Amino acid sequence: MNPRVFILAIATFVVGTVELIIGGTLDLIARDLQVSISAAGQLITIFSLAFAIAAPLLLHVTRRVERKKLYLYALAAFFLSNVLAALSPSYAVLMTARVLSAASSSILIVLSITIATNLVEPAYRGRAIGVIFMGISGSLVLGVPVGLALGNAFGWRAPFWLIAALSIVAMIFILLFLPKVQTAPPIPLRDQMTTLRSGKLFSALFIVLLMLTGHLTLYAYFTPYLQTTMNVDGTTLSWIYLLFGLAAVAGGGIGGWIADKWGATKSILFIIPVFGLIMCVLPFFTGSLYLFLPIMVIWSALSWAISPAQQNYLISCSPATADIQLSLNTSAQHLGIALGSLAGGLVVERSSVIYTPWVGAVFVLISFGFAFYSVSRPFQAQESQVVQPAPGHHA
């Protein structure tokens, strides 16, 4: 494995951390900027929505720019967006900073995957992508506890200063150790959209979109949920989020084992209903922290266990367009995060945060409906006849 792949993984870890790092400090942001908790939660929504939209568009616009140069430009924009967030005097400025951060993050993560596959021999491309995704998943999982710890100690702006500083370190490593990389231009948007004509593939994208919508309906407001239902303090919150993160990382490994053991289809049809059931019963265990934590660990693990099965399922549905499917799946994931934080905000604003697990479970149930529909659809020859992407190329 080319060691430069690990440099890219570290860079994606830094970049990915910014998405959910404010999840544990929503109350601090709301208090400082004098907005509601639900309004603060929309900072997650707007980030994920901007991420999902920006990635294919920016890659198309910048298709002729040399990849290393583009990576450094995007890192510079990412640095400035986090400085702007840290200095934000108002909610509107912070929202603008989040949009800029999401746009630069989207191109950095897709570029990391693209460059990594060009740095290694064809036989190692799968492993290279896996290393990059470890950086991404680790950042999403650990971002909240890191942000929570820094936020409680130094204020909600501190995590943005840390990310800005780490982005400078990433720029130095990329500048010194990454060679110039010329890659094929991104797959045209019309070719990406062609794959959505398949009912089997189109419905499959809604599996992860709606499951993450359900998950984020609660997780985006997990701090106020815990404070309202269990009255936990800041220190306990940090430990809870750390445990949640460790369980999520383990869940990815467990999900891979299940997918290999049972196959992608059976794994999806097992994980989703169990995940929904856990969300339904979670509120009944808030009376005791010691009873609540084991249930929370299962919920966290299952939230990431779906990923290996989902990606394997998409590849098996259309091997010839695997790269396109994984790219669209990434957009679906971020749309799910955006919709979930939006849905959770509506529940908090119009009712109470205590109902977020049950509302989230409804989305998970709908996700299961899409999963059942997708797996019941027959494979069609045209699904694998879309333009074959260049090796190692991700749109």
How high is the pLDDT of residue 30?
93
Of the spans 152-161, 357-366, 382-391, which averages the highest pLDDT?
357-366
Between 394 and 378, whose confidence is greater? 378
Counting beta carbons within 10 angstroms of the beta carbon of residue 232, is it exposed (0 to 12), middle (13 to 18) or buried (19 or more)? middle
How high is the pLDDT of residue 129?
67
Pairwise CA distance, residues 71 & 78, whole Å: 10
Residue 198 scores a pLDDT above 50: yes
* Averaged confidence pLDDT in the chain: 84
How high is the pLDDT of residue 193?
64
How high is the pLDDT of residue 25?
84
Delimit the domains of the chain by residue range.
Answer: 1-186, 188-395
Reported as a pLDDT band with limits 50, 70 and 90, residue 55 is confident
How high is the pLDDT of residue 140?
65
Residue with tokens 């799910």: 336
Give the residue among 171, 158, 4 at the shortest CA–CA distance from 78.
171
Reported as a pLDDT band with limits 50, 70 and 90, residue 54 is confident
- At 340-351, the pLDDT tens digits run 988 998 999 899
How high is the pLDDT of residue 382?
42
Counting beta carbons within 10 angstroms of the beta carbon of residue 8, is it exposed (0 to 12), middle (13 to 18) or buried (19 or more)? buried
How high is the pLDDT of residue 88?
96
Mean pLDDT of 82-93: 96
% of the chain exceeding 90 in pLDDT = 42
Least confident of 22-36, 170-184, 197-211, 257-271: 170-184
Give the residue among 106, 137, 146 at the shortest CA–CA distance from 21.
146
Q: For residue 71, give Cα distances in angstroms to 15, 82, 316, 367.
A: 12, 17, 31, 35
Q: For residue 86, give Cα distances in angstroms to 159, 172, 194, 275, 360.
A: 8, 22, 41, 36, 31
How high is the pLDDT of residue 337?
86
Mean pLDDT of 237-255: 83
Residue with tokens 């109902």: 355
Least confident of 52-66, 224-238, 358-372: 52-66
Give the residue among 63, 76, 62 at the shortest CA–CA distance from 15.
76
Domains 1-186 and 188-395 share a fold: yes
3-state secondary structure the chain: CCCHHHHHHHHHHHHHHCCCCCHHHHHHHHHHHCCCHHHHHHHHHHHHHHHHHHHHHHHHHCCCCCHHHHHHHHHHHHHHHHHHHHHCCCHHHHHHHHHHHHHHHHHHHHHHHHHHHHHCCHHHHHHHHHHHHHHHHHHHHHHHHHHHHHHHHHCCCHHHHHHHHHHHHHHHHHHHHCCCCCCCCCCCHHHHHHHHHCHHHHHHHHHHHHHHHHHHHHHCCHHHHHHHHHCCCHHHHHHHHHHHHHHHHHHHHHHHHHHHHHCHHHHHHHHHHHHHHHHHHHHHHCCCHHHHHHHHHHHHHHHHHHHHHHHHHHHHHCHHHHHHHHHHHHHHHHHHHHHHHHHHHHHHHHCCHHHHHHHHHHHHHHHHHHHHHHHHCCCCHHHHCCCCCCCCCCC
Mean pLDDT of 3-8: 86
How high is the pLDDT of residue 134?
72
How high is the pLDDT of residue 123?
66
- At 380-391, the pLDDT tens digits run 544 444 433 333
Mean pLDDT of 248-262: 80
The whole-angstrom distance between residue 331's C-alpha and the CA centroid of its chain comes to 9
Mean pLDDT of 161-181: 91
Q: What is the CATH number of domain 188-395?
A: 1.20.1250.20
For domain 1-186, the CATH architecture is Up-down Bundle (1.20)
How high is the pLDDT of residue 31?
92
Tokens of 42: 């929309």
Tokens of 368: 């299961």
Of the spans 23-27, 128-132, 365-369, which averages the highest pLDDT?
365-369
Residue 184 scores a pLDDT above 70: no
Q: For residue 372, give Cα distances in angstroms to 300, 368, 375, 392.
A: 23, 6, 5, 31
Q: Residue 36: CA atoms inside 13 Å, Cβ hemisphere, count?
A: 12
Reported as a pLDDT band with limits 50, 70 and 90, residue 361 is very high
Reported as a pLDDT band with limits 50, 70 and 90, residue 26 is confident
Least confident of 36-50, 203-217, 252-266, 297-311: 252-266
